[in-house]
């Protein structure tokens, strides 16, 4: 069935360093890949997304790359700040705008000042 694997489950970095979170999806028909940030006790919020016709997308300190051949996509955060500390979820969907999102297991990012 549809599955999204996310690694690592926890990630600790020093402030100012970069953080990379990787996801692999199983359904080759997936064509929409959002990333959500969820702070403790709060709702998931979309931080960036990418569609299958694009290999890379960047928004300030955040970038996402997609390799459709390998069915692999990654989140890159540069110049990390303590407020980046949260749980990050990747997801995949066969619908360009969302539809049924299959989420990864989450990565707990801790940025130490």
Residue 75 touching another protein (CB under 8 A) = no
The Cα–Cα gap between 52 and 81 comes to 29
Q: How far apart are CA 86 and CA 53, in angstroms?
A: 29
- Of 3 and 18, nearer to another protein (C-beta) is 3
- How far apart, in whole angstroms, are the C-alpha atoms of residue 77 and residue 59? 10
For the segment 11-30, give every residue that binds another protein (CB under 8 A).
none
Do strands 107-112 and 102-103 pair parallel, antiparallel, or not at all (unpaired)?
A: unpaired
Q: Is 7 in the site for another protein (CB under 8 A)?
A: no
**Nearest residue (CB) to another protein, 97 versus 113:** 97
Residues 94 to 113: which contact another protein by CB under 8 A?
A: 95-101, 103-106
Compute the distance between CA of residue 78 and CA of residue 61 in angstroms, rounded to an integer: 5
Q: Which residues bind another protein (CB under 8 A)?
A: 4, 6, 34, 36, 42-46, 49, 89, 91, 95-101, 103-106
């Amino acid at each position: 069935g549809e599955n999204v694997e996310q690694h690592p489950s926890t990630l600790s970095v020093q402030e100012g360093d970069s953080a990379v979170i990787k996801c692999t999806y199983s359904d080759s028909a997936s064509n929409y890949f959002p990333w959500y940030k969820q702070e403790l006790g709060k709702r998931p919020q979309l931080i960036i997304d990418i569609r299958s016709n694009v290999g890379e997308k960047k928004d300030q300190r955040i970038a996402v790359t997609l390799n459709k051949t390998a069915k692999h996509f990654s989140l890159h955060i540069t110049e990390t700040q303590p407020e980046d500390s949260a749980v990050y979820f990747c997801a995949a969907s066969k619908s360009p705008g969302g539809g049924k999102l299959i989420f990864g297991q989450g990565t707990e990012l801790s940025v130490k000042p």
